[in-house]
Every structure is written in structure tokens, then in C-alpha cells.
């Protein structure tokens, strides 16, 4: 099993960055306590995606914060990223593992209880539970798992569980209490006026929970 700290997992979305360079937001967020970063880009060329991944890897290296690429195994390989996050409609897990090798982190999105049970058959490094709460980032996912869903999946899943969807400083403790091992955040950091402060606030809530 690959080692990583999933506590506060930033997932990028340039569309929510209010025109600011995503590199700056990532760097500020890491300074605020983000422990892991996922680069998620849907509307750019492969060349832009690779170049952005290479730049982020350089920014993250001194912090020893892993860079995970969403969906695109080619970009992960090209940038020698630390891992890949795949969804239900992405590269099949078995192929991704074969191509990336055992030393890369692979995360897998599950959107309901049945998918979480299915994921128990795979040796993924973590599962992303999505969405915990309904959010504007992925309006197509209407059925939120809720805290109840997190609790249920936590009762049987063998995997490290990262929750995503509508998570912020106010509900962070509740989501961890329900069983999540880490919190993935998009808009609460990417859209924040001060991404470092936004990350720090969520991180403080996480640290408060861990200490109790």
C-alpha cells in the first residue's frame, strides 16, 4: 500500500478559480495545510494538461505533497505524477494499475453503496466518496450520499475513504466523524478570496477532530 496523507485533499477546477492561475491557488492552499492535490482538467489540450501537471509537480515537490492526475493516465505518466484518480467512466482500474505500477497512488470514485462494495475487490489506494453533499461543482450527481452514506460505507469498506462534495470548515468535523479518512475540497478553496486562509480553516477543523 502506498503511503500518503489524505487529510485535506485539494481538487482543482480552473473554472472556479475566478481567473486566477491555478498554480498560485495550489501553492497558497498547500501553505494553508493541504496534504494532497488532484489536478482535474476537462477542457484543455493534452499539451496544456501535461505542462500544467509538470509545473504543479515542481511546486509540490518541496512540500512532499503528492500530485494526483484526474482521469488522464497519459498525463500522469508524462509528468511522472504520484498517482491517478479514476472515475466510473474512466480507464478500467486493472489496466491503470498495470500501466502505472504498484508504486503509484490510484484513487477510485464511488457514488453509491453498490460501487463501494465493488471497490472492495480492487486494491486501489483510496476511494473517493462522491458527493457527500449536493454541490454546484458536479450538478449531474443529484443523489448525495450524506453523512448516513459515509457511515454505511465506512462499516464495510476496506479502503482509505476520502469524501468529496460540498465540504467546508463548518461540516468538516461531521464528515470525519461519519468515518471519512480525508476530506476533498474544490470550491471552498479554489473559489475562496484567500485560498491559504480557506485551507487553513478547514485544516484546523480536521486537526481539532483528530486530537479529540
Contact positions toward a second copy, by CB under 8 A?
45-48, 50, 71-75, 77-78, 88-92, 95, 99
Minimum distance from CB of 194 to a second copy (Å)?
34
Q: How many CA atoms lie within 13 A of 105 on its CB side?
A: 24
Minimum distance from CB of 40 to a second copy (Å)?
13
Instruction: CB nearer to a second copy: give 51 or 204.
Output: 51
Copy the grid coordinates of residue 168. Answer: 467546508
H or E, element range at 30: helix 22-31
Q: What is the DSSP code (8-state) at residue 137?
A: S
Give the span between the Cα atoms of 194 and 34, in whole angstroms: 14
Instruction: CB nearer to a second copy: give 29 or 39.
Output: 39
Length of the chain: 212
Minimum distance from CB of 47 to a second copy (Å)?
5
CA separation, residue 180 to residues 7, 21, 53, 90, 153 (Å)? 9, 30, 27, 23, 9
Minimum distance from CB of 108 to a second copy (Å)?
13
Instruction: CB nearer to a second copy: give 119 or 185.
Output: 119
Minimum distance from CB of 74 to a second copy (Å)?
4
Torsion of CA 186, 188, 192, 194, to 10 degrees: -100
Cβ neighbours around 63 below 10 Å, total? 13
According to DSSP, the residues that pair with 10 across neighbouring strands are 37, 185
- 3-state SS class at 10: strand
Minimum distance from CB of 54 to a second copy (Å)?
10
Amino acid at each position: 500500500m502506498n503511503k500518503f496523507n489524505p487529510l485535506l485533499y485539494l481538487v482543482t477546477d480552473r473554472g472556479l478559480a475566478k481567473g486566477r492561475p491555478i498554480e498560485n491557488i495550489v501553492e497558497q492552499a498547500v501553505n494553508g495545510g493541504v496534504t494532497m492535490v488532484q489536478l482535474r482538467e476537462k477542457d484543455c489540450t493534452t499539451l496544456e494538461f501535461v505542462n500544467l501537471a509538470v509545473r504543479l509537480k515542481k511546486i509540490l515537490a518541496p512540500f512532499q505533497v503528492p500530485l494526483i492526475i484526474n482521469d488522464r493516465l497519459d498525463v500522469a505518466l508524462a509528468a511522472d505524477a504520484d498517482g491517478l484518480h479514476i472515475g466510473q467512466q474512466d480507464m478500467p482500474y486493472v489496466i491503470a494499475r498495470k500501466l502505472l505500477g504498484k508504486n503509484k497512488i490510484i484513487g477510485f470514485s464511488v457514488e453509491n453503496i453498490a460501487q463501494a462494495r465493488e471497490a472492495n475487490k480492487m486494491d486501489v489506494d483510496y476511494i473517493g466518496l462522491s458527493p457527500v453533499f449536493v454541490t454546484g461543482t458536479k450538478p449531474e450527481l443529484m443523489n448525495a450520499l450524506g453523512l448516513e452514506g459515509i457511515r454505511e460505507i465506512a462499516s464495510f469498506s476496506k479502503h482509505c475513504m476520502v469524501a468529496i462534495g460540498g465540504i467546508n470548515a463548518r461540516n468538516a468535523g461531521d464528515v470525519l466523524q461519519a468515518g471519512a479518512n480525508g476530506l476533498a475540497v474544490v470550491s471552498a478553496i479554489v473559489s475562496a478570496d484567500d485560498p491559504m486562509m480557506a485551507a487553513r480553516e478547514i485544516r484546523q477543523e480536521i486537526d481539532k477532530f483528530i486530537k479529540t
